Amino acid sequence: VLILGLGKAARTLAEQVQGRALITQTWDLTLDGWPAKGYFELPRAPLQSITSIKYYDEDDTEATVDSGTYFVDIASEPGRVVLNSGESWPSTTLRPVNGV
């Protein structure tokens, strides 16, 4: 048990120092609004996939962005979610905090 604990502690420290995930992990990222530049970067590399992009309107109603709207760039570091050509983020007025 001690060795397993030391191994986990070493991995956690290595991930913090490198800013990289060394094992598959699931993360949630919340934003106050849509990025002005047409894409947003995910803070921890390497990116493997995106489960969904959800947003909340000013009435706190949840909706999901159609996955055909964006491209998940797993080759870049950090990974990015990029609008497909001709697409735009939903124009719904978002709640003021953590709308995306």
For residue range 22-53, list pLDDT tens digits in order: 788 888 999 999 999 999 999 888 899 999 99
Nearest to 100 by CA among 47, 40, 30, 51: 30
Token reading at 69: 């709207």
Torsion of CA 31, 32, 33, 34, to 10 degrees: -10
Residue 4 lies in a domain: no
* pLDDT for residue 1: 64
Residue 3 lies in a domain: no
Q: For the segment 51-74, what is each residue's pLDDT rounded down to a tens digit?
A: 999 999 999 999 999 999 999 999
Distance CA 69, CA 91 (A): 13
| pLDDT range class, residue 94, cuts 50, 70, 90 | very high
Residue 14 lies in a domain: no
Query: For the chain, how many structural domains are there in total?
Result: 1
This prediction's pTM: 0.79
Q: For the segment 1-19, what is each residue's pLDDT rounded down to a tens digit?
A: 678 788 888 878 887 888 8
Domain of 66 in residue numbering reads as: 24-100
Residue 92 lies in a domain: yes
Tell me if 70 sits within 8 A of 83, measured CB to CB. yes
